[in-house]
């Protein structure tokens, strides 16, 4: 049983103290001695200060990763890497409550939801552990003259630079570090400056589990001062990034210097399609939480809701009632369903979209305002919002908001809704609600998205690839395809006559 945490009495264990970064197996500060604060978005209180790294710190981290890659880590065989990943998973499981508290206080994720991510995150680590011993090349029958044997080897790509966002620090860290350890790569991870604490905690636990010095390094700092130098660093063999499409484009440009490998999981404007025959009792809460989960701060948020015209008005009415009934507050309260936005800057951004929606003629049916009364006054809270009367051309229907805002629109035919759903530069995810198997298969095939969920949403499994089409990025996380992103294929020819 997990402990109930009283929001009024709760103090984070760091409580304003300094937390160094992790390079080469040591806890170090930035060479410049600069720091920045990380704050609890529910209360505005300073949780800790962390180093504000610059290019010279990134150089040290990359050098540590290269030394480890060329050193003892290169002699770890697949079984040893597997055992290490299983030890990490077991240690994470024993410290899961501590990890959840870190995510909740640093980025606002309700602790009930954080606790519920245990199977997903620990499952990832154990899946990658299993895959560590399944990496293999092939014997290839060639057409060369003479007696020449040919085969391929799968080898680690090298030093991986990983840049992750603030909206899922634990899962994003594991999705980058897990496959790197499974394949024999080393990592320099740059967490978002908005939520850097959990990756540092994970590094501490990984060191305790026996990860050799330099195999995993955590560099804290801003995107321009630490992220950009990592992306363009000539000592980095691969960059893996999760975040905005605009930043992803800059990373692609920065990678050109040494033609490093790149994989990107970027933005989305995901459609959710509710057909006339859908199970409404199931569809309403799932469609709502496809957006409202994590206060809408999730790349796969199903923020464009297409509802069959015959049920549109009734569905939107029930959706609004559901939104109005959600419990909003400090995520450390286990009863909280909707936590704060990450920062005052993000709150202002979301408020701008709320204003744009009403200015452009959308009808506000739930939410639509900042919540700043009582215990919410010091935090970055906005009410779960539902707009109807939205057109495809409106700003709220075109741009990624990263807030708890749903745009509801009616449709008449499947051909029409497919065309409208695909009319976006993004292609990360989509949802469908129908009882008809043929409709489910048709829409799953025709929607241009990397993940399609039918009568559910947010289903993520370590064995199933996840990633986007179009401007939502390229490369995959999860599944055997994920490990291929961290491997290079070498062809070998041996004359034996």
- Joined together, the tokens standing for residue 93 give 């499981």
Contact 120, 171 (CB under 8 A): yes
User: Over the chain, what HEC string results?
Assistant: CCCCCCCCCCCCCCCCEECCEEECCEEECCCCCCEEEEECCCCCCEEEEEECCCHHHHHHHHHHHHHHHHCHHHHCCHHHHHHHHHHHHHHHHHCHHHHHHHHHHHHCCCHHHHHHCHHHHHHHHHHHHHHHCCCCCCEECCCCCCCEEEEEEEEECCEEEEECCCCCHHHHHHHHHHHHHHHCCEEEEECCCCCCHHHHHHHHHHHHHCCCCCCEEECCCCHHHHHHHHHCCCCCCEEEEECCHHHHHHHHHHHHHCCCEEEEECCCCCEEEECCCCCHHHHHHHHHHHHHHHHHCCCCCCCEEEEEHHHHHHHHHHHHHHHHCCCECCCCCCCCCECCCCCHHHHHHHHHHHHHHHHCCCEEEECCCEECCHHHCCCCEECCEEEECCCCCCHHHHCCCCCCEEEEEEECCHHHHHHHHHCCCEECEEEEECCCHHHHHHHHHHCCCCEEEECCCCCCCCCCCECCEECCEECCECHHHHHHCCEEEEEEEEECC
Instruction: Specify whether 299 is catalytic.
Output: yes
Instruction: Specify whether 265 is catalytic.
Output: yes
What span, in angstroms and rounded, lies between the C-alpha atoms of 198 and 136?
Answer: 33
Task: Single out the catalytic residue among 193, 225, 232, 265.
Answer: 265
Q: List active site positions.
A: 265, 299
């Amino acid at each position: 049983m997990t402990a109930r945490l009283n929001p009024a009495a709760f103090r984070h264990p760091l409580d304003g103290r300094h937390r160094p970064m992790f390079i080469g197996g040591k806890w170090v500060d930035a060479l410049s001695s600069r720091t920045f604060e990380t704050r609890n978005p529910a209360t505005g209180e300073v949780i800790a200060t962390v180093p504000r790294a610059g290019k010279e710190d990134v150089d040290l981290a990359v050098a540590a990763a290269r030394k480890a890659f060329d050193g003892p880590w290169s002699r770890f065989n697949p079984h040893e890497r597997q055992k290490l990943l299983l030890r990490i998973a077991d240690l994470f499981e024993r410290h899961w409550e501590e990890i959840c508290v870190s995510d909740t206080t640093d980025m606002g994720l309700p602790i009930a939801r954080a606790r519920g991510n245990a199977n997903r995150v620990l499952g990832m680590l154990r899946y990658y552990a299993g895959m560590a011993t399944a990496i293999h090349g092939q014997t290839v029958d060639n057409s060369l003259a003479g007696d020449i044997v040919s085969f391929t080897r799968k080898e680690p790509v090298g030093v991986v630079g990983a840049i992750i966002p603030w909206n899922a620090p634990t899962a994003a860290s594991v999705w980058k570090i897990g496959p790197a350890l499974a394949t024999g790569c080393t990592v320099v991870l740059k967490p978002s400056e908005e939520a850097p604490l959990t990756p540092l905690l994970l590094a501490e636990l990984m060191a305790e589990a026996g990860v050799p010095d330099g195999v995993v390094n955590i560099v804290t700092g801003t995107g321009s001062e630490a992220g950009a130098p990592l992306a363009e660093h000539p000592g980095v063999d691969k960059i893996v990034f999760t975040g905005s499409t605009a930043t992803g484009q800059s990373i692609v440009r920065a990678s050109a210097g040494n033609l490093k490998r790149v994989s990107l999981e970027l933005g989305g404007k995901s459609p959710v399609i509710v057909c006339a025959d859908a199970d409404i009792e199931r569809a309403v809460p799932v469609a709502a939480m496809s957006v409202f989960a994590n206060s809408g701060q999730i790349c796969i948020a199903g923020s464009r809701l297409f509802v069959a015209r015959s049920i549109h008005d009734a569905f939107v009415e029930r959706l609004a009632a559901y939104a109005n009934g959600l419990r909003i507050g400090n995520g450390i309260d286990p009863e909280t369903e909707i936590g704060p936005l990450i920062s005052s800057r993000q709150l202002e951004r979301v408020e701008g979209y709320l204003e744009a929606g009403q200015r452009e003629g959308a009808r506000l049916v739930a939410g639509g305002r900042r919540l700043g009364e009582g215990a919410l006054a010091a935090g970055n809270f906005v009410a779960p919002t539902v707009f109807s009367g939205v057109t495809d051309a409106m700003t709220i229907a075109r741009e990624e908001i990263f807030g708890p805002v749903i745009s509801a629109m009616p449709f008449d035919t499947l051909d029409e809704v497919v065309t409208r759903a695909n009319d976006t530069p993004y292609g990360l995810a989509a949802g469908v609600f129908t009882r008809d198997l043929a409709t489910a298969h048709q829409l799953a095939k025709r929607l241009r998205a990397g993940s399609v969920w039918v009568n559910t949403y947010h289903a993520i499994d370590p064995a199933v690839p996840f990633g986007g089409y179009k401007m939502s990025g390229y490369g995959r996380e999860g599944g055997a395809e994920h490990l291929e992103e961290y491997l290079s294929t070498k062809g070998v020819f041996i004359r034996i006559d």
